[in-house]
Structure 1
Amino acid sequence: MTIRLPDADGTLRTYEPRAEPLALTPGGGLTSRTVFAAAHVVADPYADVTPDGPAAVDWDTTLAFRRHLWSHGLGVAEAMDTAQRGMGLDWAGAAELIRRSAAEARADGGRIACGVGTDQLTAPAPTLAEVRAAYEEQLALVEECGARAVLMASRALAATATTPDDYLDVYGHLLRQAAEPVILHWLGPVFDPALHGYWGASDLDAATNVLLEVVAAHPSKVDGVKISLLDAGREIALRRRLPDGVRCYTGDDFHYPELIAGDDQGFSHALLGVFDPLGPLAAQAVRALDTAGTADARDAGGTAGFRALLDPTVELSRHLFQAPTRFYKTGVVFLAWLAGHQDHFTMIGGLQSARSLPHLTRAYELADGLGLFPDPERAEDRTKDLLALYGVTQ
């Protein structure tokens, strides 16, 4: 069987789908790296909603996808930007997502970390006190649910803070009261333009120094730092400056294989949106490091097996996260539909329209080539259904 796919110039070409999926089986927890997949939410396609109204979530299917990730030994990073925080999912929806997912994690024995932000603020210019209070409200909820907190970069703080000292004050205040160590999250402007100049400096070297100052002042309260700048060299330089015991979590969806594999001076753990569609394959790759037989899991055999599995996925990841990067969620949900994790390609806020048909069909082609679809025929049929909606006949 073949399928006709559109190129960016409007021409159609013939593609022959893969006949068999990659053999990927569930397994226990990963040991050599701490790995979180930032998970998407599944919209309720039958809800009568508007693009700017409250999100309608299909809770059963959303939670089933988290169980899928846990079954492969991955942790779930909940209510992060992959779950459309600030792009369709408001704080009320995120709070319910955190409650439900944390309860599911307890029942399933899954690892979970949840995003803590300030997105309940609606005033255009909140005060620093209001930003602190918003963070506190969300931190309290996550802690009450028994999940690890991820202190997300805040648009409100970026708009309100005027100096690095404002960041030091806000983060210091939160870390002093945190019951358990948290993950600090630096999301770069490539993911969210509203976060330009975060940490009080447009210069990234200066911004890095402010972040490290926060960590150095409270090392026992920082589990790790998640870096999402799409700059491998900068991430490596930063992780080498972290205090002992503080993890570096890569959020770099362009260079993750080399960063997780590491070098003779260390490695990155992972908290990645691309591990939503790559979850089973990513887990299998990390198991090659787990079984390498050395404490740091960087011997040639383990690393070679890891890279052999994960390196070929980078082309798909770079495609999904191409500019404007913040719309990568559309491709992630599209692939979840093709893989059979949900019955429709509908997103909260109508975000399924954020990527073009050629972009989506190229994502299908790359994912199919990797063997990511448990049922390749179903993925092909669903892609043909989408093409038919756009007037493409087979």
Structure 2
Amino acid sequence: MQSQKTSTPTPDQIRRAPKVLLHDHLDGGLRPGTIVDLARETGYTGLPESDPDKLGTWFREAADSGSLERYLETFAHTCAVMQTREALVRVAAECAEDLAADGVVYAEIRYAPEQHLEAGLTLEEVVEAVNEGFREGERRAREDGNRIRVGALLTAMRHAARSLEIAELANRYRDHGVVGFDIAGAEAGFPPTRHLDAFEYLKRENNHFTIHAGEAFGLPSIWQALQWCGADRLGHGVRIIDDIQVAEDGAVKLGPLASYVRDKRIPLEMCPSSNLQTAAAASYAEHPIGLLRRLHFRVTVNTDNRLMSGTSMSREFEHLVEAFAYSLDDLQWFTVNAMKSAFIPFDERLAMINDVIKPGYAELKAEWLFQQAAATPALASGSATPQA
């Protein structure tokens, strides 16, 4: 009989598998058609294309261009059309709806409230509009027969000086749709230590936060995020590979920082497609996630910016299945890792794992075994003798 490790899942099985997403930017996941609609409604004339299909292609090509300026320009367009309450509600609702349709059962979506004030909204109005949109998206998903729970992460920009204000905002809306805090933006020249007052405040309030670190800058960024700031999770963290040595004979030696990250079970919010676009990895097959999974780091799989990367959680899993021949067991491992690392209470995480994730994967594995039995006459007739 086949071992308990199931074989390579099909794209349909991947789509139906329950998935957990911890690192996804609201302004990086808009539908192209929505951008066109909102630009028309708000009078924004800066879009490079007015046709939704062509605009979607432009976003992906701009993100793939290798030009940081052009990559950042993509977010200037999405943020430009996310300046009204109605626009924020729509974008957030569609985000939850799209994720649920892709099999995501829990998601933490991050955004920077300070980037949505140009039309006169207050920080509080931004948060309340996004929360309203997420609840609407959850409702629509239920009507479509899908289930999803969405929590918000409030992000402060590394180059700005509002991190304490945003941290206080996140704490005020704690248990009201907001589950934690984040900082984002260029790592080089803007270390997380510039925002120590925000992190110290959150720790005093026993609140959760993640930090973008180890994507472009390297090990010092990771060390500062953990040892100076006390991050609960690492946004990306892909450069932890720089503290791991692999000898020609395959022997692996972890440096002190890599050992600390693994031993402390610090979650790594890895985003393979995005990492390829930012040259943090050369290909899916060469992405550090393969080695880190073998070494049992607390690795999670994420989308980062679905629009710019032309991706989804299912596509991320499909790329990894193709690169590393991952099975349903592996996908379940990544998913449970993510749910364990979420910023909601322990009992709620446990319920999601035991009541949603594990039963969902068990059903898919049983389906695969049935298909194998049907395709193998000896097994189907019961004449084969199972082997241990």
| TM-score relative to the length of structure 2 | 0.47
| TM-score relative to the length of structure 1 | 0.46
